[in-house]
Amino acid sequence: MNPDKTIGLVVLNMGGPDSLSAVRPFLYQLFSDRDLIQLPAGALLQKPFAALISLLRAPKVRLNYAQIGGRSPQLMWTTRQVEGVAGELGPQVRPYIAMRYWTPRADETVKKMRADGIEQAVILSLYPHYTGATTGSSLNDFARAVKKHHPALQYTVIREWYDWPGYLDALASRVRDGLEKFHEMVRDEVAILFSAHALPQKFIDRGDPYLEHVQATVKGVMERVGGNPWSLAFQSRSGPVQWMEPDTVDEIDRLAAAGVPGVLIVPVSFVSDHIETLQEIDFEYRMHAEKAGLPRFERAPSLNDHADFIKALAGLVEAHLGGGR
């Protein structure tokens, strides 16, 4: 890339509804994505399926979003993250966001980059662990937008960073912050439960590296944190397919039965607060843990815009621009 020209820094993320009325159209976009869900009958039934399933699920999902203020905070956090990273990198880097299922979408972002005169860019997936269902889908979406709206754009991609030392350092610091919530007499015995977003098992069976990436992250974090007992489970399962195991709820039950003095749950595949942390973990899993008889159930803070995480991402982009990543 030409260092004398402005570089666009585009972060890719899932996106989330910005109001309760946006929940159903957001779900429609989600279930229309054939990189995420491929019906046996092919593309012909994808949109009718998406229309039906979004209609059926919207009422419950709206209630979940109502519990956390009526909207997803993901765009707010993503904006703070990309602006923070661009600020670390200097005035030659201009920040952009491309969400997969809600605004700002890739088409809108690429048009804006063209209007801004951006000729070169770095694309950073905000999913640390690669899977075709998230990063792969977002990259395909961005490539289609570039081909359609700005074919002259030259860009490179950071598609995974599950083992980036700065990321592991920042996540380990959030784990230590979470452990501080427990009394020092039991702190070393608290079970650390890493919870990653589940995928259908068929993704893993066909060679998707997501599980290996998550496992490598957990290993790197625990090498930094110390000797607490730990385990890894998977959350946010839905639908009648086989999912990655164990389920986070089942692991909470196992730990309660084992008599641990407390559980610190660590959202490992999410880099900011959103529905899976604020509602699923903080409401549903906390209530379940209480019913299961766990003495204490706490969540490690999310990475959000913590200074160490922003510096870690800036270092990642710098290394990439320097050819080292």
* Active site amino acids: 14, 30, 36, 100-101, 197, 273, 276, 280
How far is residue 225's CA from residue 122's CA, in Å, rounded to a whole number?
Answer: 32
> 15 and 101 in contact (C-beta within 8 Å)?
yes
Neighbour order of strands in the sheet with 154-158: 93-99, 7-13, 120-125, 154-158
> 274 and 311 in contact (C-beta within 8 Å)?
no
Dihedral through CA 159, CA 163, CA 169, CA 173, nearest 10?
A: 80
Q: Is 90 left (phi over 0), alpha (psi -120 to 50) or beta?
A: left
Helix (H, G, I), strand (E, B), or coil: what is residue 98?
strand
How far is residue 312's CA from residue 33's CA, in Å, rounded to a whole number?
Answer: 31
How far is residue 44's CA from residue 34's CA, in Å, rounded to a whole number?
Answer: 11
Task: Find residue 8's DSSP bridge partners.
Answer: 94, 121
Q: Is 276 left (phi over 0), alpha (psi -120 to 50) or beta?
A: alpha
> Vertex 193, ends 285 and 226: CA angle to 5°?
150
> 137 and 35 in contact (C-beta within 8 Å)?
yes
> 198 and 244 in contact (C-beta within 8 Å)?
yes
How far is residue 245's CA from residue 232's CA, in Å, rounded to a whole number?
Answer: 9
